[in-house]
Structure 1
Amino acid sequence: MALYEVHARKWENGWELRIADVGVTWSPTLGDACSRAREFISTQLAREERTVHVDLQPHVSEDLDQLAVEARRALHIADEAARTASAKIKEIAYGLSEAGLSPSDIAQYLGVPQQRLEELVRD
C-alpha cells in the first residue's frame, strides 16, 4: 500500500488536488476529494485503487486553516471530556442505585434531567 499526500486548494469550480510526483486533478466537493484522488493516482500510476491511500490536506487560507486546526482540537478535548463525564455519571448512578435511590432521585441528585441521565447511562 502506498500513501500519497494530497493538497486540496479551494477554487471557484471546486477543489484543486495536487499530488506530489503524480499530478493535478480536481474534485467538485471536498467530500469526493479522497476518492477522486485515489482514482487519479491509480490511473496515472497503473495501481489498483484499493492499494492507494491518501492523506487529504485541505487549504482555504492561512487564517481559516489555523482556525480549523483549533476547532478540531477543541472538539477533540470536548469529546474526551464528554466520555469522562459519561463514565463518572455511570459510576455514580450505579452507586446511588445500589444505595436505594430511584432513577428520578438520582437525576435530581446529579442535577440532570432524568431522560438525559438515562441517555448517559445507556451510552
Structure 2
Amino acid sequence: MTLYEVQARKWENGWELRVDGAGQTWSPSLDDAEARVREHIQSAGASKGAVHVTLVPRVDDDTDRLALEARRAVAAADEATRDAVSKTRDAVQGMSAAGLPPNDIARILEISPGRLAELTAESAPDGRDEPRLPQRRRRQ
C-alpha cells in the first residue's frame, strides 16, 4: 500500500491538492478531494497498488490553529464523556449490588431515570456484562 499525504490549500475556485510524488490537482470541495486525488494518482501512473490518502487542509495560519484547537477540544470532550459513562456504570453496578432501586440510583447520580436505563442497556466498551437493576415490585 502506498501512502500519500496531500496538502489541500483553499483558493477562490476550491482546493488545490498537492500530492507527494504525483504532482497536483484540484477539487471544488473537500468532500470530493480524496476521490479526485485517487483519480489523479491513477492517471499519473504514480501507484499500481492500493493507496491511502491523508488530506491536510490549509486555510491560513490563524484558521489552521483554531481548527486544530477545536479538534483537540472535541477529542478531549469525547474522552471525558467516555470516562464519565464508565464511572457512572461502575457506580450503578455498586448501587445495584447494594439493592438500591433505579429511581434512587438516578437521584443519587443526578441523572434522569431514562438516562439510567440507557446506560444500563448499552454494552460497555470492554464487553463486560452490564449491571441489572433490581426489578420494581408491582403493587397489588
TM-score by length of 2: 0.79
Q: Identity percentage over the alignment? A: 53
8 Å contact kept, 1:89–1:121: no
Q: Is 1:106 the counterpart of 2:108 in the alignment?
A: no
2:4 is matched with: 4
Contact map agreement 2:7 2:18 (CA 8 A) in 1: yes
Unaligned 5+ runs, structure 2: 123-140
* Aligned residue in 2 for 1:42: 42
Residue 91 (str. 1) matches residue 90 (str. 2): yes
CA contact (8 A) 2:4 2:51 kept: yes
The answer for the alignment partner of 2:79 in structure 1 is 80
Deviates more, 1:37-46 or 1:64-73: 37-46
Kept in 2, the 8 Å contact 1:14–1:26? The answer is: yes
Where 1:32 maps in the other structure, the secondary structure is helix
Structure number with the higher helix fraction is 1
Counterpart Cα distance in 2 of 1:32 and 1:118: 41
Larger radius of gyration: 2
Alignment: residue pair count: 122
* Deviation (angstroms), 1:46: 5.4
Gaps of 5+ in 1: none
**Structure 1 length normalisation: TM-score?**
0.89
Please, what is the CA RMSD of the aligned residues? 1.6
Contact 2:22 2:46 in 1 (8 A): no
Q: Identify the residue that residue 21 of structure 1 maps to in structure 2.
A: 21
User: How many Å separate the matches in 1 of 2:71 and 2:46?
Assistant: 35
